[in-house]
Amino acid sequence: MAAASVIVRGRVQGVGFRWFTQEAAQEHGVTGWVRNRRDGTVEAELHGADADVRAVLDAMAQGPNGAHVDEVAVTDAPVAEPSTFEIRGTA
């Protein structure tokens, strides 16, 4: 099981990035959450099988139409077993 904390920089707010991430996570059976941050970045935490988390990270690196991803910074997150993937409010 993989657990990743993610910060995405670039033009990633106002383009449906959170919904795009939620859809990718659900397609791959990944749980966790995603939210906008006040500094203009998007933050997420992903939990799932290594290959599935990698697939979501790859999707996030591309982003939805209208997004321009400059950087996807990934660090290890504490392993947890959330049951869903949710969109959270701005942090």
Whether 53 is in a domain gets the answer yes
pLDDT recorded at residue 83? 84
Whether 42 is in a domain gets the answer yes
**Number of domains present in the structure of the chain:** 1
Q: What is the CATH number of the domain that holds 67?
A: 3.30.70.100
Structure token pair of residue 39: 């500094």
pLDDT recorded at residue 86? 92
What is the spatial distance between Cα 83 and Cα 30, in angstroms, rounded to a whole number? Answer: 9
Whether 68 is in a domain gets the answer yes
pLDDT recorded at residue 80? 79
pLDDT, averaged per 10 consecutive residues of the chain (91 residues), comes to: 94 97 98 97 97 98 97 92 86 76
Whether 38 is in a domain gets the answer yes
pLDDT recorded at residue 33? 96
Whether 46 is in a domain gets the answer yes
Active site residues: 18, 36
Per the structure, the complete domain to which residue 20 belongs is given by: 2-79
Whether 10 is in a domain gets the answer yes
